[in-house]
Amino acid sequence: MGGGATKLFGTLTQNLSSHSLLHLPPSHLDPNPGMDAILDPVFLQEQWGCDPADLLRQCEQALGDRPPRFHRKFTRLNSGVIASSSAIRVMQWNILAQALGEGLDNFVQCPLEALSWSRRKYLILEEILTYQPHILCLQEVDHYYDTLQPVLAGLGYSSNFCPKPWSPCLGVEGNNGPDGCALFFNQTRFELLDSVNIRLSAVRIPTNQVAVVTMLRCLSTGRRLCVAATHLKARSGWEWLRSAQGSDLLRHIQNLIHKHTSVSTGVPSPSIPVFICGDFNAIPSEEVYQCFAASPLSLDSAYKKLSQDGLTEPYYTTWKIRPTGECCTTLDYIWYSQEKLSVDALLDLPNEEQIGPNRLPSFSYPSDHLSLVCDFSFKE
């Protein structure tokens, strides 16, 4: 990162006069691009494992003047089964890069004040803290080093970040560096075994899209998981490129699994379950979707479970208005190994009335994409 990010990080890590998270007034909304004292990572790291609920309350207080947030509920697939403490909660979310939201995306119905980082940082953290995922996959992250990494590290998350080589954020004046994909995991639940940053290729030619692929060991069961976060090429006309990028990502995942599925004797161990989370920029009828559905990794898309027949994706995971018109469609997915993992619960999606006539982003919600949150468990 450049000098601007270093300066922001310095602002973020300044010492507090008091180590209380509960002393700030509800109106504490500083237009300074640096984070506020309530998100000070020095304090969070000193208080390893501090209660995320305290930080969540402070975010809510700082946003006290905003419209009500979306009230989303979990749909439990086995109504008679009580939520297990061993469930693995996975969250997928394109959080909207700050530079793109303010500079290039042109959300014509969204007030500029709703796009300011002084508000959005609290809304983003509020969403994460509300659902407290064990695995968090994010796209369009351009405030990793000065915000998300240090704050979430103070709450017990380890992470890896892969920036785009030619991020469009860099063309926006006053940007905070390139955007990219970030993958976080809770260290009380998982141990890191391996992680690779991938620049996706098409016909062996490197592209501008990336992925983070991580191998984890579940501390409670000893079982391994391969988790990937990615963001494929946007816009119509690039369907062939998305398909090639998806195939390249699957190849990298299979290579990492192969690396970890043989013990020193050379005897294969049981296959490793997979989560692949991302903004695919692809509707379900696209070739890249079909490629993942037909993968030898035996993948299924978790959010189909919300439909009555269990076969249909939601109507939308993104809903926005740009000068070219209104876009309401499904582009985001959590793919999982259906033979090794079961979906226990899914966070429902807000309806049209909740989202409102101006769509996303808004004063209530910081991104044009909705978060997807699922609880999974290992199959015996």
d(CA 189, CA 371): 21
- Tokens linked to 126: 């509020």
Class for domain 81-378, per CATH? alpha beta
* 264/49 Cα distance (integer angstroms): 36
Whether residue 231 contacts residue 276, with contact meaning beta carbons closer than 8 Å, is answered with no
What is the reported pLDDT for 266? 52
Please tell me the predicted confidence (pLDDT) of residue 263.
55
- What's the rounded Cα separation, in Å, for the pair 261 and 114? 47
Residues of the chain falling short of pLDDT 70: 1-50, 79-84, 262-270
State the pTM of this model: 0.87
Task: Determine the Cα–Cα distance for residues 178 and 173; give it in Å rounded to an integer.
Answer: 12
C-alpha 268/C-alpha 287 separation (Å) is: 32
Burial class (CB in 10 A: 0-12, 13-18, 19+), 77: middle
| pLDDT tens per residue, range 254-267 | 999 999 986 544 54
- What are the domain boundaries of the chain? 81-378
pLDDT value, residue 7: 35
Q: At what angle do helices 117-131 and 52-62 cross, to 10 degrees?
A: 150
What tokens appear for 225 in the block?
Answer: 């998981």
Q: What is the pLDDT of residue 378?
A: 94
Q: Are 107 and 101 within 8 A, CB to CB?
A: yes
* CA atoms of 330 and 340, how far apart (whole Å): 25
Q: Contact, 277 vs 92, CB < 8 A? A: yes
Q: Would you call 84 helix, strand, or coil by DSSP? A: coil
